[in-house]
Amino acid sequence: MVPEDWGKARNSISCGVMRPVSGFDRPVVQWLFVVLGLVLIVVAGAETAALLRARTLMGELRTADLNGRIEREQLQAQAAREQAAREALSLELARQRGAGAAVTQPTLTLSPLRKRGAQPPDPTVGRPADNQSIQLRLLVPDGAEPPTARYTIVVRAWTGGNMVWSRAGLTLSSVDKKRMVTAFVTGDVFAPGAYEIALTRHAGEATADVASYEVAVRPDR
């Protein structure tokens, strides 16, 4: 290659090299990019820290919610045990008082609701004594019920929905040719006020709503 050709080659190579950005060689511009890079790093770090704190807080909230549910279930189980003990004591007292005489067992029979009303039901039941034993009878709608099914009764306040009483492991029975689920309660369950009662069925692992009921207790006069 002749010298002239070498000069042309150097010119072509120099034309292919990327030219510097105009103004970037100024110190002010370079420091501006450095500062912007640092700001982006700080912002990214702050976002990462905030995300970690949010995840930690969510985990603490989930743990607190789980602990709260466990405590509520324990309190409900304790209340159910205490209620069962009171019912058993009430029944035993009734049997002892009725020794040698016929004892009439008060009953409260309720029919299924077709539709929940917008207002609480009118009070139609007188308030029983706190230690009075009452047989709660819930009529079951017509339909095929598994013979091995177990039922749960839950009594809640009509306003607010707070659970007042519950009983599980009940069976279907027939009284006066009417199918019903029965359970013994004590009078302190039905203080003056309105209540809604839910009946659910458990067959194996399947759970289904059977019917809902309402009752309202008159205040003391």
Give the mean model confidence (pLDDT) for residues 188-213: 89
Statement: residue 83 has pLDDT above 70: no
Give the mean model confidence (pLDDT) for residues 96-105: 56
Instruction: Report the residue count for the chain.
Output: 221
| C-beta separation of 195 from 164 below 8 A | yes
Give the mean model confidence (pLDDT) for residues 67-88: 68
pLDDT classification of 13: cutoffs 50, 70, 90: very low
| Radius of gyration for the alpha carbons in the chain, expressed in angstroms and rounded | 38
- Tell me whether strands 133-139 and 178-186 are parallel, antiparallel or unpaired: antiparallel
Give the mean model confidence (pLDDT) for residues 191-200: 93
**pTM of the shown model:** 0.56
pLDDT classification of 1: cutoffs 50, 70, 90: very low
Which whole-number Å values give the CA distances from 98 to 66, 93, 102, 107, in the listed order?
48, 8, 6, 17
Residue 32: predicted pLDDT: 78
